[in-house]
């Protein structure tokens, strides 16, 4: 298949968790939900050394393993200021705060925080703590490969602006429906973004996340977008 991300690898750990290998040899984990994630293969409950954590929002199916991984590896966590504040209170020190429109360099990557339409409360005991606004990320590698991690969101028209500004060639999109967009909206998102490749996620974890890659392919019709549905534990390289 025509995959343009030279030397960047994507391993799906189920749900919204991805392990990304970068051209400079760094390992980045996105929205780590490991042991509690029913789709995460056992061999990835400990994903090995991690250089960077990207966190899109405060929901437990995304933040669950940020504190243990951050403490174990001392690696930076890129997230919004409210979640960073909460993580600091949990004992993490290496936090990179970013808000929408901002770009930071970490592990030889240019990381831009983007909009997402969703919610972001952090479940803390019996309370839900304000977790700022949910986000996505545009990531550019040192060899100028750009990809988009949508986070949990519906489709929105300003995905066309992300195309204009960043022109990503690959997008990681939720397709499960119920808590995020479903396959039909994801097909529209791929169209607005102008990407060549989509890795679907946030589906199949439990029955409410019923959208499927097949439904997305149907919705894409004749649009030239490759939907790469990985098995949990499988890597696109
Ligand atoms: Ni969420
Ligand atoms: Mn979620």
Ligand 1 centre distance from Cα of residue 60 (Å): 8
Residues in a beta bridge with 142 = none
User: Scanning the structure block, which residue is given the tokens 């490749």?
Assistant: 197
Distance from C-alpha of 164 to C-alpha of 161, rounded to nearest angstrom = 5
Distance from C-alpha of 128 to C-alpha of 68, rounded to nearest angstrom = 20
Ligand 1 centre distance from Cα of residue 58 (Å): 7
State the ligand closest to the CA atom of 15.
Answer: 2
List the domains of the chain with CATH numbers.
2-229 (3.60.15.10)
Percent of residues in the chain assigned helix, strand, coil, to nearest 5:
20, 25, 50
* Residue 234 exposure: Cα atoms within 13 Å on the Cβ side: 10
State the ligand closest to the CA atom of 61.
Answer: 2
Ligand 2 centre distance from Cα of residue 94 (Å): 24
Q: 2: which residues sit within 8 A by CB, 6+ positions away?
A: 196, 226
Q: What is the dihedral of CA 227, 193, 234, 43, to 10 degrees?
A: -140
User: Scanning the structure block, which residue is given the tokens 């999109």?
Assistant: 173
State the ligand closest to the CA atom of 57.
Answer: 1
* pLDDT tens, N- to C-terminus, the chain (237 residues): 446 677 999 999 999 999 999 999 999 999 999 999 999 999 999 999 999 999 999 999 999 999 999 999 999 999 999 999 999 999 999 999 999 999 999 999 999 999 999 999 999 999 999 999 999 999 999 999 999 999 999 999 999 999 999 999 999 999 999 999 999 999 999 999 999 999 999 999 999 999 999 999 999 999 999 999 999 999 999
Ligand 2 centre distance from Cα of residue 78 (Å): 17
State the ligand closest to the CA atom of 174.
Answer: 2
First to last CA, the chain: 10
Ligand 2 centre distance from Cα of residue 120 (Å): 9
pTM value? 0.97
Distance from C-alpha of 76 to C-alpha of 53, rounded to nearest angstrom = 6
Residues in a beta bridge with 11 = 19, 235
Ligand 1 centre distance from Cα of residue 2 (Å): 31
User: Contact, 4 vs 145, CB < 8 A?
Assistant: yes
């Amino acid at each position: 298949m025509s995959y343009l991300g030279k030397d960047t690898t994507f391993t799906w750990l189920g749900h919204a968790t991805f392990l990304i290998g970068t051209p400079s040899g760094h390992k980045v984990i996105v929205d780590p939900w490991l042991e509690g994630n029913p789709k995460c293969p056992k061999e990835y409950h400990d994903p090995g050394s991690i250089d960077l954590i990207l966190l899109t929002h405060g929901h437990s199916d995304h933040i669950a393993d940020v504190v243990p991984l951050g403490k174990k590896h001392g690696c930076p966590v890129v997230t919004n200021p409210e979640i960073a504040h909460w993580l600091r209170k949990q004992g993490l020190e290496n936090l990179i705060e970013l808000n929408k429109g901002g770009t930071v360099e970490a592990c030889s990557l240019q990381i831009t925080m983007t909009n997402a339409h969703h919610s972001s409360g952090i479940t803390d005991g019996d309370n839900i703590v304000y977790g700022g606004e949910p986000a996505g990320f545009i990531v550019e590698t040192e060899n100028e490969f750009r990809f988009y991690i949508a986070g949990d969101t519906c489709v929105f028209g300003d995905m066309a602006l992300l195309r204009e500004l960043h022109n990503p060639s690959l997008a990681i999109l939720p397709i499960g429906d119920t808590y995020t967009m479903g396959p039909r909206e994801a097909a529209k998102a791929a169209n607005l973004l102008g990407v060549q490749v989509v890795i679907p996620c946030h589906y199949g974890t439990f029955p409410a996340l019923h959208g499927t890659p097949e439904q997305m392919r149907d919705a894409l019709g004749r649009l030239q977008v490759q939907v790469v549905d990985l098995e949990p534990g499988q890597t696109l390289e």
